[in-house]
Structure 1
Amino acid sequence: MTDSLARMARRWWLALWLAALPALATAWMPVGDPAWPDPQLALVYVERTLKRSDDGLILSAHLALFRSSVYRLTVIDPGADAETPRPTLPESFQQAGSVAGVNGGFFHPDGQPLGLVIAQGRRINRFETTRLLSGVLYSDARGIHLQRRAHFQDQPGIDALVQSGPYLVEHGRAVRGLSTGDPSQRTFVATDWHGHWILGATRTRLTLADLAAALSTPGALTPWPVERAINLDGGSSSGFFFDRGPDVEPVVMRPWKPVRNLIGLTPR
C-alpha cells in the first residue's frame, strides 16, 4: 500500500470512529441478567434496569410484553366524580378481567379526559387535535393499532381508544425534537408492528428524549426492534399492574393521584 493510500485509509477509519462516538457515548446497557424471555410467549412480565454509559443514568422499568394475537386492549374509565369512592388500581384491573395494564391518557384538573376515549365501547369526550395528542391507540376486532392522529379514521367496531402523545419512536427511530428537560416517571406503549407489544412504566425519572433513545436502542427495553412507540400520561399518574397468577402477589406500581382512565389487557 502506498503512503497516500495508507493516509486515506487512516482518515477513513478515523471518520468512521468519530461518527460512531455519539452512539457509543449514549449506549444503554442492561444491568444484571440481560437475557430476555422467549419473545413468542403470549404474556410475560419483566423488570428491566439499564445504565447509560456516558453519565451513568439508571433506567428501571416494569414491562408487560404480550402478543396481540392472544390479548386485546381494554380501556377502563372509573369516571371523574371525586365524591364517589374509586376502586384501587389492582381492583380496577381485576374487576375488568385485565391481567396487566398501565394508566391511560391525559385529563384536565376536573377529571375530564383530554381527547377522545372509548372505554368498553362507550365514547367519552370528543376527538381533539391539540399538539400533545399526536397519536391514537385503539383496539378493534382486527387487533391493536397505534397511528398518527392525521392517519386515524374513526369507524364502528372500535371498543377501546385513547388519544395520547407525544410519539416517541417512529419507523424504528427516536422522534426528533422531544423534550430534554422535565425528567419524570413515564408510561408508554410500543410495538414491532409484527404482533409484539409492550406496556411499560419507568420507576425512575427521565426525559421524553431519554425514553425515546432507550426504546430505539436494540435490545434495551424490548427483545425485538421497536417500530413505533407513544408516551402516555406519566408523572404522578404513572401506574402499572401485572397479575402473576394464583397465590402470588401482583406487581403493582400505584399512581400518586387518581387517574381518569386505565389501559388493560384481556384475553381474546
Structure 2
Amino acid sequence: MHLRPMRAAALGVLCLCLIPVACTQAPPLPSAGPPSSAPTGIIRVPAKADETVNSPAPEPIHSPGQPLKVARTNLSGISFEGVAFDSRTHRLAVVDQPSDPGSRFPDAKAAAASRSGLAAFNAGFFTPEGSPLGKLVSAGTPAGSWNRSSLGSGLFQEDSSGVMSLTRRKGEATAGRRELLQAGPLLVENGGVVSGLDGAKPAVRMLIAWDGGSRWWIGRSSSCTLAELGAALRGGSPASWPVRIALNLDGGRSTDLWISSAVPGGPASFRPPWNRPVRNFLVLLPR
C-alpha cells in the first residue's frame, strides 16, 4: 500500500535529472604566462606592415647591355647632352692637376687626349686657390680633404676590382679605391628626388647618373635649378632607363664637355667663352 508514493518520489527525482541545462559557455580560462624559462618584463611588438625584420640586402641590379652612344633628350623643358655607356665595357677615370687649374689641361679635350680618352667632363668643385673642394683619388693617389657640406654629400668611386658606383658619403675612408670623386648635392637617391634641393639659382649643370647596375650617363643639362633638375630626373631619364641615383658635379662657369667622333652620335663639345679652367676631369676610357 505504501509503494505508490515511493515510486512517485523516484520518478520526480528522475525528471529533475533530465531537465536540460542552459547552453551558456563558461568564460575562457586565462592564458598561461610565458614559460618559466622565458625572460620577463619584455614586450614584443609585431612589425608594422611597412617594416621588415632581418630583411636581406637588396638584390644587385643586373642591367641589360648599354651601347656606347651620345644621348640627347629633353625632360620637363630641360635639355640633356652626354654619353651613355656600360661599365662592363667602359669606365671613368679621375684626371687631376696637382698644381693650379688649367696648369696641365686647359680644357676637357686636352684632358681626354692625355689618357687617349673617348670623352671628358669637368668634375669636382675647387677652392679659389685651386685646391679640390672635397676628397678625390686619381689612379690610387689621394688628394684634397673631406667636404662635409651638401657639395660633398655624394661619391663617385671605383674599387680596386674595377666596380664603379655612386653612393652617399657615409664615411671617410679611401682604402681600396682606385678612383674617387666627392661632389654634390645628390639629386636622386633610390629613385626619388633628394629633399632640400635649391630652387632659386638656375645654371648650366654637370651631372652623372646611374641605374644601380652597369648603365651610366654623364653630361650636362641646360640652365635650371637643382630642384628642377631633380624633379626632371625623377620623371624621366637622359638615357631611357630609370635613374636610381644621380650626382651633381661642378657646373656654371666650370662646365666643359668634350666627346670624340669615336663615340656613336659624336663629336660634341660644350665650353662657352666665359668658362674658367678647372682642377679635375672625369675621362671616359675603354676597358
| TM value normalised by structure 2 | 0.71
In the alignment, does 2:92 pair up with 1:73?
yes
2:226 maps to which residue? 208
Moved over 6 A (4+): none
**Which has the higher Rg, Structure 1 or Structure 2?**
2
Structure 2 CA distance for partners of 1:86 and 1:41, relative to 1, 3 Å: closer
Letter in 2 for 1:210: E
2:175 maps to which residue? 155
1:8 maps to which residue? none
- Determine which of 177, 182, 201 is the counterpart of 2:196: 177
Structure 2 CA distance for partners of 1:83 and 1:180, relative to 1, 3 Å: closer
Q: For the residues of structure 2 that align with 1:114 and 1:123, how far apart are their CA atoms?
A: 13
Partner secondary structure for residue 186 of structure 1: strand
Shift of 1:153: 4.4
1:254 maps to which residue? 271
8 A Cα contact 1:62 1:240, kept in partner: no
1:52-71 alignment, distance < 5 Å: 52=76, 58-71=77-90
Partner secondary structure for residue 258 of structure 2: strand
Shift of 1:40: 2.7
1:190-229 alignment, distance < 5 Å: 190-202=209-221, 204-218=222-236, 220-229=237-246
Identity %: 34
1:1-268 alignment, distance < 5 Å: 40-50=65-75, 52=76, 58-81=77-100, 84=103, 86-140=105-159, 141-150=161-170, 153-156=173-176, 158-202=177-221, 204-218=222-236, 220-245=237-262, 250-254=267-271, 256-268=275-287
Letter in 2 for 1:128: N
Structure 2 CA distance for partners of 1:215 and 1:87, relative to 1, 3 Å: same
CA RMSD of aligned residues (A): 2.2
Q: For the residues of structure 2 that align with 1:83 and 1:214, how far apart are their CA atoms?
A: 33
Cα deviation code 1:142-186 (max 9, x no counterpart): 411111111564323x22111001010011011111111100000
Kindly tell me the number of residue pairs found equivalent between the two proteins: 220
Structure 2 CA distance for partners of 1:75 and 1:254, relative to 1, 3 Å: same
8 A Cα contact 2:217 2:238, kept in partner: no
- In structure 1, stretches of 5+ residues that fail to align are 1-38, 53-57
Letter in 1 for 2:240: P
Q: For the residues of structure 2 that align with 1:99 and 1:133, how far apart are their CA atoms?
A: 27
| TM value normalised by structure 1 | 0.75
